[in-house]
Structure 1
Amino acid sequence: MKKLFALLTMLLFTCSTFAQTEQPEMADAMRSNGKIYVVVVVCLVILLGLVGYVVRIDRKLTKLEQKKD
């Protein structure tokens, strides 16, 4: 019964998305406004922050492993 309810709910949501009006895609609208570059920069900053965090944690773990031996 739960599976049937979940299936019907998902079908209902997909049907409502087909009824939306035809508008430009979000990326096209942002590109035309020049805001796509802001999105790209924010994504790059987040990615670089995560890479820096992983490198820092790796260095700390390496130091701890060397102290242990």
Structure 2
Amino acid sequence: MFLSKINKKVLLLIIGIITFIGNIFGQGNNSDFARSMGKMYVVVAVIIAIFVAIVGFLVYMERKVRTLEQHIENEK
């Protein structure tokens, strides 16, 4: 048999979770309500802040890696 009992259970669990999440987020068109309350701008601001933080962290890590690479290269 292709799928063992555990794999079947995991597959069914994943399908159930995806279906449940689809039902939660598929609640209709409430974007006008969110826009009227000003919450849409808060969501956009949070997403932009997270993106900027991730980019800043990546730049910081790139600088640290570059200095480590230069340090290792100078030791050789």
Same fold (TM over 0.5): yes
2:33 maps to 29
Which of 24, 49, 55 matches 1:51?
Answer: 55
2:45 is matched by which residue type in structure 1?
V
Aligned length: 59
- Runs of at least 4 residues off by over 4 Å: none
Q: TM-score by structure 1 length?
A: 0.65
Give, in whole Å, the separation in 1 of the partners of 2:30 and 2:70: 50
1:38 is matched by which residue type in structure 2?
V
Q: CA deviation at 1:32?
A: 1.6
Unmatched runs of 5 consecutive residues or more in structure 2: none
1:1-69 paired onto structure 2 within 5 Å: 2=8, 6=12, 10=16, 13=19, 17=23, 25-69=29-73
Unmatched runs of 5 consecutive residues or more in structure 1: 18-22
3-state SS, counterpart of residue 50 of structure 1: helix
CA RMSD of aligned residues (A): 3.0
Deviations 1:7-63 (A, max 9, x none): xx75xx58xx5xxxxx75233321121110011001100110000000000000000
3-state SS, counterpart of residue 43 of structure 2: helix
